[in-house]
Amino acid sequence: MRTLSTSPIVRTSSIQRWRQATSLALLGLIVPMLLAACGGANSATSTPAAATKPAATTAPAAAATTAPAAAAATSAPAATSASAASAPAGTKPAASTTASSTTAASSTTAGTTTASTGANLRGTGTKRGGGGTLHLLFWQAPTVLNVHIAQGTKDDDASAIVLETLATISLKSATPDVPILAKEIPSTANGELAADGTSVTWKLLPGVKWSDGTPFTSDDVKATWQFIMKPENGATTSAAYANITAIDTPDPTTAKITFKGATPVWYAAFIGQNGPVMQKAQIDKCTDVKNCDLINNPIGTGAFKVKSFTPGDNVQYVINDNFRDPNAPYYDAIDMKGGGDAGTAAKALQTGQVDFAWNLQVTPDILKQVTDAGKELNLTPGGGTERVLINFSDPNKDVNGEKSSPQAPHPAFTDPKVREALSWLMDRDAMAKNLYGPAGNATCNILPSVPPQTSSKNTTCGYDVAKANALLDQAGWVKGSDGIRTKNGVKMQFTFSTSVNAVREKEEQVMKQSFQQAGIVLDLKNADAGVFFGQPTNPDAASRFEKDLEMFTQSTGSPDSEAYFLNTFTTSQIAQKSNGWKGSNYARWSDPKFDDMVTQLSKELNPDKRAQIETQLNDYLITNFVTLPLIDRSSVDGRRADLINTNPTPWDWNTWNIAYWQLKK
């Protein structure tokens, strides 16, 4: 899953409301994971494009968890359902799901843990080395080692072991609160943040060195921005840096960023998922971005450096002797292994073959097997929304050597009635209950349940085959003797793609049988995760989207969703042959009204008004059936019980603080 870069926003009263929600969430510490399905939700106030609102059932509350600093949860794992999803039989009575408004910013459930609540959110080192090798299993193997070029989360996590950001955002914050390469967090109080939002000055930590022993300076910060903004480099994080007009470097530890105008999201760049700083010397040597060391063997300021890298298979890391903290890292080396699937990753963790297993997108019964074996789960809210993308271009038409060209509209999906029909054919509740359990909740929204101030309560979706059939009848798609709908000589026979994964394949089967009841045939053409989330040189890559429908998880990447909307849904970001399919609007949807709303958001300084616009953008996408959300996921990773300080946050990569991972004494 590719987590797209976004930029957070300073919040005042919104932050207070979030923290109030956190306090309320803590009252439920004794509730087992599975009981999260009983969480409350408000009814929707509008039903998109539906004449009659069915009886509503609320989506379950998000399962968000936390644990004290440097301590692993030791309580027994909660019971989970062992049932797998079964295909719906016949036409299910009308039912709908309303967007959940209950979100726990932090809580604790048995057998799980997430972010540290200690003062030092990165963790504290005790001594350098002596911990042996840390074994990580990222079953979607990395193919590049640079966040700014990466197409998938597994690439980002691999590069974050080496490259560092100026600062990041912890689980319970809406703004940067953890300085990393910065000496402190800029503010109006310390004079480093302009009151009108037109500039920010970052004071850098003195004495930091790159792994090759050369000094880290403000010139590296400036060079990183310049690299990202060169179109020929195809940086996937460019939206977060596009509002910068200049970076001045008056001295080696000062970088003043000037924006094109008043900028509420003053730290979009160099923070969290967008933020790794690259070495200027290595940037200057990079003449071919596809092959240079900057991408495949980066020099970093992190606690580890690359020893060897086999794309699609394995990365070996060793201690960076020039790391600034003499008491970190604890581990001598890291072995990051790729391959297999989420199920085999869970088994490898369960049997002790690895210390940490990433992205356990497995059924609840398998999660229970992991915790029954004495392992821990990190469940982190804001893991992203599992959704179905609709291709607004025709993958079966070739335009000047390009399939899915923006110049060739899709013969079915340009009709909103058809898109709405697809939404009613998705049994979100069954998928959430049977395939995700504590790790996901049915949702109608594209924005996740955190932060709660942008979690919409205005949307409704559901599962109703009869309604879907009626909508398709109205749209003029007629069932033939073979039961397949046809219009203007085109059959409703769509190609559906996702990454090879047991849970996703079961999701597809649930949808395939529902679609069949509406006269639609789904041909499943799944790709290995390394290909699906890989570079767009492969026509089966998600970014190429040469299918009718595709499915994967995507998150906002930060508490503010401006860059997420800009990247994923605006006309300027349409992925196409002319830009090497580097745009993040894979669906090739274009709507001037939506583009204008995103522009309005970029100019709004008031945090509460920004939250309102973000919610409106969510609602516009949902009521127009531009994308079809399914599951509001928590990130689920597994670890050995005595591995501490993993401190996950939804706003950064899993490995953001790996320098301080260690075994509990």
Q: What is the pLDDT of residue 117?
A: 34
Q: Give the CA distances from residue 570 to residues 411, 586, 599, 617, in Å, rounded to whole numbers and listed in that order.
A: 21, 10, 10, 11
Q: What are phi and psi of 439, to 5 degrees?
A: -95, 0
Q: What is the pLDDT of residue 101?
A: 31
Tell me the percentage of the chain whose pLDDT exceeds 90.
68
Q: What does the pLDDT look like over 541-551, one tens digit per residue?
A: 999 999 999 99
Between 50 and 514, residue with greater pLDDT = 514
Q: What integer is the mean pLDDT of 341-364? A: 95
Residue 263 identity (one-letter amino acid): T
Residues 6+ apart with CB under 8 A from 173: 15, 559
Q: What does the pLDDT look like over 185-213, one tens digit per residue?
A: 999 999 999 998 899 999 999 999 999 99
Q: What integer is the mean pLDDT of 368-380? A: 96
* pLDDT level of residue 25 (50, 70, 90 thresholds): very low
- The conformational region for residue 489 under phi > 0 = left, psi -120 to 50 = alpha, else beta, is left
Q: What does the pLDDT look like over 143-196, one tens digit per residue?
A: 999 999 887 788 999 999 999 999 999 887 888 999 999 999 999 999 999 998
Q: What is the pLDDT of residue 599?
A: 94
| Range in 14-28, 266-280, 317-331 the model is least confident about | 14-28
Q: What integer is the mean pLDDT of 115-124? A: 58
Tell me the percentage of the chain whose pLDDT exceeds 70.
82
Alpha-carbon distance 648 to 169, whole Å?
10
* pLDDT level of residue 22 (50, 70, 90 thresholds): very low
Q: What is the pLDDT of residue 19?
A: 34
Between 249 and 78, residue with greater pLDDT = 249
Residues 6+ apart with CB under 8 A from 172: 18, 19, 22, 105, 106, 115
Q: What does the pLDDT look like over 461-486, one tens digit per residue?
A: 999 999 999 999 999 999 999 999 99
Q: What is the pLDDT of residue 520?
A: 98
| Range in 38-42, 299-303, 406-410, 504-508 the model is least confident about | 38-42
Residue 354: pLDDT over 60: yes
Residue 620: pLDDT over 70: yes
Q: What is the pLDDT of residue 557?
A: 78
Q: What integer is the mean pLDDT of 642-662? A: 95
Cβ-based burial of 642 (10 A; exposed 0-12, middle 13-18, buried ≥19):
middle
Q: Are 47 and 618 in contact (CB under 8 A)?
A: no
Q: What is the pLDDT of residue 48?
A: 30
Q: What does the pLDDT look like over 408-435, one tens digit per residue?
A: 999 999 999 999 999 999 999 999 999 9
The chain-wide mean pLDDT, for the chain, equals 83
Alpha-carbon distance 457 to 532, whole Å?
33
Q: What is the pLDDT of residue 120?
A: 67
Q: What integer is the mean pLDDT of 61-78? A: 30
Q: What is the pLDDT of residue 607?
A: 86
Q: What is the largest CA-CA distance in the chain?
A: 76
pTM, rounded to two decimals: 0.71
